[in-house]
Amino acid sequence: MTSPDLNLLFALDVLLAEGSVARAARRLRLSPSAMSRTLARLREATGDPLLVRAGRGLVATPRAEELRRQVGRVVQDAEGLLRPAELLDLRSLDRIFTLRTNESFVEEFGPRLVTRIEADAPAVRLRFAPKSGKDAMSLREAALDLEIGVAGETGPEVRIQALFRDRFVGAVRAGHPLAESKVTPERYAAGRHISVSRRGRET
């Protein structure tokens, strides 16, 4: 039995992340024709078309969606195995890290985080970017280094770690009907509400 070409795993990871032969070719610095041949080899190896034409673009097959959740982790582990072991010297680290988070996190933790960075890694700078959505594409393309918030849909190549848990707290005036007894979802929903949305949503 012929051993599979493990280089195809890296190509598969990029193809499924990009969903485009042309974009995958640019990331891997290949010609579009070479990327098309690689896709043909992947189709032969997996026994699945992987990406199929839909209108003017390509969409992943169910098998490709299943592979997407696995191949990113495999590639990341392989890169870790081949990376030379070295200790990170925070004092000499010179880099800008971009964090996407909401204003409340910056207000609460920003000053302490900046103070800690100045003490441990003085050449590191932090750039806080506003939250415009929950897509993982910015992380995949390295436009962001870290996103802090409620996790949305991510890929297998995006690592998630819980920082803390918070909860909503309600405050009412003295004598408010809701304060008369235990607040249940039904009693809360029956009250009068004002809905505020920064994105213009009505629900």
Burial 90-108 (b: 16+ CB within 10 A, else e): eeeeeeeebbbbeeebbee
Class of domain 7-82: mainly alpha
pTM: 0.45
pLDDT at 117: 93
Which ranges in the chain are annotated with CATH 1.10.10.10? 7-82
pLDDT at 38: 92
> What's the CA gap between 137 and 158, in Å, rounded?
10
Which ranges in the chain are annotated with CATH 3.40.190.10? 90-147
Q: How would you class 64 by CB atoms within 10 Å of its CB: exposed for 0-12, middle for 13-18, buried for 19 or more?
A: buried
pLDDT at 116: 93
Q: What is the mean pLDDT of each run of 10 residues along the chain (203 residues)?
A: 77 88 89 91 90 85 87 82 77 90 87 92 91 69 79 64 80 87 89 76 61
pLDDT at 119: 93
Burial 187-199 (b: 16+ CB within 10 A, else e): eeeeeeeeeeeee
The CATH code for residues 90-147 is: 3.40.190.10
pLDDT at 153: 57
